[in-house]
């Protein structure tokens, strides 16, 4: 569940508060003004909360992480498990980041190319957003502030088209133009579709620069990289994409980021598998894989490896939006190996290991 821890006119009838009309009159600058206020505040610390449906249709809130942000785009999430600091994730714009496992005293370098799945870096993109902004009718009192709300599509802000029906609800203090609550709605796949990822309890002001230092902590060991060999990963990716295309009229997942949960559920739907059908499972028995149940379980498992490539491996890229099975010689998936060369899977699912200059030549076509 943790991973759910990377302008048009508004009709006058929807104007919800005279005190906030200066922001609503021209919808395009709404979040530009918010971004300006956030920049002047020099940063924030807030809580990340999972909000789900509780007993008798009440809200059940679970604190997950402390979140830190500064205008340079650096951010940090300190995940808490059973009341103790469990993991820290540090991202810096256009630089490698750092993942710290405090329990095992290990760290992992997060490649700068890594997909920031539900990154709070969305704030920077909100500031540049110029698309349609829908006001939420009526104000809401949040932590003593009478806040006004706006909704924007998740995919148009963060460039992640995997969650086409998800949206971002931003509640703003009309006096300061600073957010008081941000709800990420519709990101979790079934059966957790009602889960809301909430950022709240903002404490504005400069943050300690040491929070965003990506130097590995003293006494911590480097976490082993993915132990699975490149050839094995390559086969998983080929098998997963092949199975998906088989049930999707010959097409691969046409998304920017491949999340195992989401694309696994998409495969479940394409294959018309029941909700209780086992997914994300590996079995070396060829007879099992030939059954429809085994094909689904293995296919969804294999698709999750593309997310590992995008998240954990240097220069991991998936081009399923533009590359099809007919695109022989075009790069569908690639990542960098330890020796500096690249493992490449092409549109026709052939593969090769090539040097960087050859990759640049191919991708420059």
Q: What gap in Å lies between CA 255 and CA 167, rounded to an integer? A: 17
pLDDT tens figures, 334-364: 999 989 999 999 999 999 999 999 999 999 8
Query: What is the pTM assigned to this prediction?
Result: 0.73
Asked if 316 and 113 count as a contact pair (C-beta separation under 8 A), the reply is yes
pLDDT along the chain (365 residues), means of 10: 32 25 46 85 93 80 92 90 92 90 93 64 64 84 94 74 78 94 82 82 95 95 83 96 96 88 91 93 89 96 93 90 94 93 97 96 87
Q: What is the pLDDT of residue 73?
A: 82
Six token digits for residue 251: 């097409």
Question: In this predicted structure, what is the pLDDT of residue 4?
Answer: 40
Which pairing describes strands 221-222 and 106-110: parallel, antiparallel, or unpaired? parallel
Using a CB cutoff of 8 Å and minimum separation of 24, what contacts does 150-159 make?
A: 150/30, 150/31, 152/31, 152/126, 154/184, 154/186, 154/187, 156/129, 156/131, 157/122, 157/125, 157/126, 157/129, 157/131, 158/6, 158/119, 158/122, 158/125, 159/125, 159/256
Q: How far apart are CA 136 and CA 15, in angstroms?
A: 9
């Amino acid at each position: 569940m943790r991973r759910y821890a990377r302008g048009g006119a508004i009709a006058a009838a929807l104007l919800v508060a005279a005190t906030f009309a200066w922001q609503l009159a021209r919808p395009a600058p709404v979040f530009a003004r918010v971004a300006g206020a956030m920049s002047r505040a020099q940063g924030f610390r807030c809580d990340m909360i999972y909000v789900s449906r509780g007993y008798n249709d009440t809200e059940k809130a679970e604190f997950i992480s402390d979140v830190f942000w500064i205008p340079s785009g650096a951010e940090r999430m300190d995940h808490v498990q059973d009341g103790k600091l469990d993991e820290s994730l540090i991202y810096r714009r256009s630089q490698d980041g750092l993942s710290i496992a405090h329990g095992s005293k290990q760290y992992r370098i997060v490649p700068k190319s890594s997909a920031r799945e539900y990154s709070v870096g969305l704030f920077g993109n909100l500031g540049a957003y110029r698309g349609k902004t829908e006001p939420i009718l009526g104000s809401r009192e949040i932590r003593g502030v009478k806040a006004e709300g706006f909704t924007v599509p998740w995919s148009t802000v963060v460039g992640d088209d995997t969650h086409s029906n998800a949206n971002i609800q931003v509640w703003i203090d009309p006096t300061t133009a600073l957010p008081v609550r941000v709800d990420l709605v519709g990101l979790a796949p079934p059966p957790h579709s009602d889960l809301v990822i909430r950022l709240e309890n903002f404490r504005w002001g400069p943050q300690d620069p040491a929070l965003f230092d990506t130097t590995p902590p003293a006494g911590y060991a480097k976490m082993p990289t993915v132990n699975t060999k490149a050839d094995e990963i390559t086969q998983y990716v080929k098998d997963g994409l092949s199975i998906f295309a088989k049930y999707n009229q010959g097409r691969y997942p046409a998304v920017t980021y491949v999340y195992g949960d989401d694309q696994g559920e998409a495969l479940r739907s394409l294959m018309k598998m029941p909700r209780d059908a086992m997914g994300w499972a590996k079995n070396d028995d060829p007879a099992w894989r030939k059954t429809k149940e085994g094909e689904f379980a293995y296919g969804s498992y294999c698709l999750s490896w593309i997310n590992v490539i995008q998240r954990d491996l240097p220069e991991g890229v998936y081009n399923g939006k533009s590359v099809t099975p007919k695109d022989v010689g075009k790069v569908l998936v690639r990542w960098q190996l330890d020796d500096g060369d690249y493992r490449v899977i092409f549109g026709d699912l052939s593969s090769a290991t090539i040097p960087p200059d050859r990759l640049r030549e191919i991708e420059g076509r």
